[in-house]
Amino acid sequence: MKMTSDILGIGLAGPQLSSLEQSILSETSPYAVVLFGRNIESPRQLRELVAEVRSVARRAPVFMIDEEGGRVDRLRTLIPGLPSAQAFAEGERPVELAEWFGRVIGMALRHFDIECNLAPVVDIRGEVATEGLERRTFGGDPESVVELAGAFLRGMHTSGVASCPKHWPGIGRGSADSHYSATVIDVPLSSLITRELVPFRQLANEAGAVMVGHGTYPQVDDTGQPSTLSWRMTTDLLRNFLGFNGLAVSDDMEMHAVSDLGPEEELLDRALLAGNDVILYCSHIERVPQIQSHLHARVSGDDRYRTRFEEAMRRCEAHRAHCERLRTAAPAVPSFEEVVDEAARFIEEFERTRPHRDVIVPDVDRRKSSRDPRTGREEWT
């Protein structure tokens, strides 16, 4: 069975394509390319990188990015000053400004020809913020998160950019940062239903996609597997119980909450069979050809595996069409000057309506951890 595209989402190593990346894109195109700060030097360079990928690829991938504002802000060198999600609950007119924020980010991503933002975060903040989620959440109760995250994603949709709420089924009460180790959410299903699942129930189908997190829920799935590897969490709970019919995107499979559990090929199999439709490998492009070869061999030789793969591909195509509908319905692609002007207006108004506070995560401390990341090229936060 010859495959010309697959269900992987991959990261690129830098601001220009390498020969290996050109080969991967032209020979067996991944579904998505996820952009990071390491890929961004200037407005012109970013537009040229996206255009080059589209011209090289056998089939143009869907471009994705984590553009939340605050500490997870891939465009911070191009459009500085975008606030964190938590800041919206700290001043006046939070819903209006959250929607405006979504429109600003949507305008920026439309200018750079990026179809899908891996945001908003719809985790509900616990009494103590989970490590790695500091100031990334909209609130500490389901109603606030639904209201503000919903306004944010609708603002993006208005600008022609798709959204992807995360991190299913909610890691706001997690025990650790899943980038570096397992995070356990040790609560019963009844508690998840009345708290963590509420934003997904309200917003997931409207968004059209959900990112599945690496949290472990021992009282819901006693196998001890993270959600990305758990059929119970990613199919039974997300699809059968919640009724979600869109695209399930795994969090990065190179994060240590999952990458420490086995070889990449085995984890790919487990993630696909659990119910993920797009599986992300964001840090090490040199490993992608081997992962693709394994995927293609399994699809060719295993009927059950092929059936699940074909279901995932149908959802990928539906999501691609969803992205295109949003783009078609949106205003004309803005110039970068228009993006900057609108961002400046938003930031000025936002700051005027918010009390002064000290910076929680200084710029010099971003993307750093006391732990050894071990895999060498991560840019998770």
pLDDT-above-90 percentage for the chain: 88
> What pLDDT shows up at residue 128?
85
pLDDT digits 0-9 by tens, 253-268: 999 999 999 999 999 9
- What is the mean predicted confidence (pLDDT) over 265-293? 97
> Does residue 115 lie in a domain region?
yes
Please check whether residue 288 lies inside any domain of the structure.
yes
Count the neighbouring beta carbons within 10 Å of the beta carbon of residue 219: 14
Judge whether 376 lies within some domain. no
The SS3 call for residue 300 is helix
What gap in Å lies between CA 274 and CA 294, rounded to an integer?
17
* pLDDT (0 to 100) of residue 364: 41
Say what the pTM is. Answer: 0.93
pLDDT in tens, 21-34: 999 999 988 999 99
pLDDT of residue 361: 45
In 3D space, the residue among 296, 283, 276 whose CA is nearest the CA of residue 256 turns out to be 283
Measured torsion, CA atoms of residues 260, 264, 268, 274, in degrees rounded to the nearest 10: -20
Residue 163 lies in a domain: yes
How many whole angstroms separate alpha carbon 306 and alpha carbon 186?
34
Residues with a catalytic annotation lie at 179, 251
Is residue 185 one of the residues assigned to a domain? yes
Residue 158 falls within a domain, yes or no?
Answer: yes
Residue 240 lies inside a defined structural domain of this protein: yes
Tokens 């495959």 sit at which residue? Answer: 3
- Count up the domains in the chain and report the number: 1
Q: Tell me whether residue 191 is exposed, middle or buried, using C-beta atoms within 10 angstroms of its C-beta: 0 to 12, 13 to 18, 19 or more.
A: middle
Q: What is the DSSP letter of 83?
A: P
Is pLDDT at 298 greater than 50 in this prediction? yes
Q: Name the DSSP letter for residue 335.
A: P
Q: How far apart are CA 297 and CA 125, in angstroms?
A: 42
Among residues 58, 64, 182, the alpha carbon closest in space to that of 113 is found at: 64
Q: Domain range for residue 134? A: 8-361
155: domain CATH number is 3.20.20.300
Within-domain flag for 81: yes
220 falls in which pLDDT band (50, 70, 90)? very high
Query: What confidence category does residue 373 fall into, taking pLDDT thresholds of 50, 70 and 90?
Result: very low
